[in-house]
Homo-oligomer: A and B are copies of this chain.
């Protein structure tokens, strides 16, 4: 006989859209279960995304900077032990993942490992042998890599962003299909490890959705790392030739690689959940539809994270998880998606937040924009980052900061200054009141303000005659 366990909330999925929802619900005094089908917590972000890729970004950069340093001798025998690198990555992932499991347990969340299936009367089955009855359900099942049919050749040569972490030997060459942030981050990492790289991107520029100046700068940097980039191009066909992958492109060129990484998109992970039985509507692209309270078309079911639609970002998932938890527990918190920063961990990093000039116009502002290259920032000279820039979008009359883009070392850390500014409606002059330590990249904030005021010390501004 199967026993039935009763909960106030069942959360399906243990990634950033799920585990914070479970913890918050527990903090609110509810009886909570979380179901995870991978056997470990953290979801795409911890297991295959943010955490391992950023660790790789860091380690590959250290290795590459040593290799190219004039002041390091005896580099002839230096080589990267890829298996050891992957072991280290895997240890970091395990620590973050087991940390999440520890937290869930500490907060008294019941953990079920297995596949969840919903039934009409708010009953949730786990692997069809555990039965949970619940009042509310939060779905945070995330997304899977999307592999179009034409790439389903074999599992040995064709990789997605997960399988790349199973490699124990760096490929000598790789074709990356898709120049979005996943493809471009892996290109940056692998190029620094000495891999020969081809990126094929169907759009006119890599990193669609990212500031065009930033995209172009990173494209240039990738080229200088030896990465070959084919824009406005698609892969028509792939085949195995002499143990390698040969890809025929839309312009009939042929490129070869030991491996091929497919990073063209993601698909929501909703198969087999039984959403249809509970009247949970999905969009054309199969993301779960929600209102601003993260509530689905079934009022007892909430969704958060990737499965609730773009942007597919961990820090967005965290917020939606909390909104779902608060509202499913009787709260009334809105999810406001305006000011989610976008980061690309390239070299240099790209970070953007708030409105672009066009978006600001659409919102009824009269925006002014200023881009400043970083040559006047001493730290940029130290870091060889003078080609980077900061771009500020502000309202012309009030000088309120509406958005911005930073392309520089530590952009992912620095963007929070702009995030705070756009969230609180700060004026550019407000940022000018702080003292930015020398020599840091953060001095770019002071420099751009001085420049806007025509009173730069570290840039020459010709007097208007």
Q: A: which residues have CB within 8 A of B? A: 16, 19-20, 23-24, 27, 45-46, 50-51, 54-55, 58-59, 62-63, 65-66, 69-82, 84-85, 87-88, 92, 95-96, 99, 102-103, 106-107, 313-316, 318-319, 339-341, 343, 351, 375-376, 378-379, 381-383, 410, 412-417, 419-420, 423-424, 426, 430-431, 433-442, 445, 454-455, 457-460
B339–A435 contact, CB under 8 A? yes
Check B51 against A439 for contact (C-beta < 8 Å): yes
Which residues of the partner chain B approach A24 to less than 8 Å between Cβ atoms? 455, 457
What CA separation (Å) do A417 and B66 show in the bound complex? 32
Q: Which of B54, B71, B95, B441 contacts A413 (CB 8 A)?
A: B441
Contacts of A426 in B (CB 8 A): 420, 424
8 further interface pairs, Cβ-Cβ under 8 Å (given A92-B382, A416-B445): A54-B379, A92-B381, A99-B375, A99-B458, A416-B442, A417-B417, A420-B426, A420-B431
Nearest 8 interchain pairs by C-beta: A74-B77, A71-B85, A419-B434, A71-B84, A314-B438, A106-B460, A66-B66, A423-B433
- Which of B71, B76, B378, B436 is A81 in contact with, Cβ under 8 Å? B71
Q: For residue A50, which residues in chain B have a CB less than 8 angstroms away from its CB?
A: 378, 438-439
17 contacts between A and B (CB under 8 A): A20-B457, A45-B439, A62-B62, A62-B66, A62-B69, A71-B85, A71-B87, A72-B79, A74-B78, A99-B375, A106-B460, A313-B437, A319-B435, A415-B437, A416-B436, A419-B435, A420-B431
Known: A50-B378, A92-B381, A416-B442. A78 touches B81 (CB 8 A): no
Considering the complex, give the chain B residue whose CB is closest to the CB of A380: B96
Report Cα–Cα, A382/B59, bound state, in Å. Answer: 10
Query: Given B16, B80, B315, B454, which contacts A71 in the complex, CB threshold below 8 Å?
Result: B80
Give the residues in chain B near A65, CB-CB below 8 Å: 62
A221 to B431: give the CA distance in the assembly, Å: 34
Q: A70 to B51, Cβ gap below 8 A?
A: no
Alpha-carbon distance A27/B319, docked complex (angstroms): 47
Contact A313 B438, CB 8 Å, known A84-B70, A381-B95: yes
Most buried by B among A24, A79, A416, A434: A416
Q: Which residues of B contact A412 (CB under 8 A)?
A: 437, 440, 442
Q: Known contacts being A92-B382, A340-B435, A437-B315, is A413 close to B415, with CB within 8 Å?
A: no
Q: Which chain B residues border A376 with CB–CB below 8 Å?
A: 99
Number of copies: 2
Cβ of A23 and Cβ of B457 under 8 Å apart? yes
Instruction: List chain B residues, Cβ under 8 A from A424.
Output: 426, 430, 433
- Highest count of chain B CB atoms <10 Å: which of A45, A50, A76, A85: A50
Query: In the assembled complex, how far is the CB of residue A31 from the closest CB belonging to chain B, in whole angstroms?
Result: 15
Contact B457 A103 (CB under 8 A): yes
The reply to whether B77 and A76 form a contact with Cβ atoms under 8 Å apart is: yes
Residue pair A434, B457 in contact (C-beta under 8 Å) = no
What residues of chain B lie closer than 8 Å to A96, measured between beta carbons? 378, 381
Taking CB as reference atom, which chain B residue is nearest A342? B437
When C-beta atoms are compared, the residue in chain B nearest to A93 turns out to be B381
Among A107, A315, A340, A434, the most chain B Cβ lie within 10 Å of the Cβ of A434
Q: Give CA–CA (A174, B80) in the complex, Å.
A: 33
Q: For residue A339, which residues in chain B have a CB less than 8 angstroms away from its CB?
A: 434-435
Q: How far is the CA of A88 from the CA of B383 in the complex (A)?
A: 12
In-complex Cβ contact of A351 among B23, B74, B437 (8 A):
B437
Residues on the B chain within 8 Å of A459, using CB: 103
Assembled-state Cα–Cα distance A435/B23 (Å): 19
- Asked whether B314 lies within 8 Å of A458 as measured between CB atoms, the reply is no
Indicate if the CB atoms of B437 and A343 lie closer than 8 Å. yes
Q: Which chain B residues lie closer than 8 Å to A77 at the CB level?
A: 73-74, 76-77
Hey, which chain B residues are within 8 Å of A81, CB to CB? Answer: 70-73
Across the interface, which residues of B come within 8 angstroms of A381, CB to CB?
Answer: 51, 92, 95-96, 99
CB-CB < 8 A to A79: which residues of B?
72-74
A383 vs B455: C-alpha distance in the bound complex, in angstroms? Answer: 38
Bound form: Cα–Cα A437–B311 in Å: 13
Contact with A58, one of B383, B434, B437 (Cβ below 8 angstroms): B383
Minimal beta-carbon separation of A326 from chain B (angstroms): 10
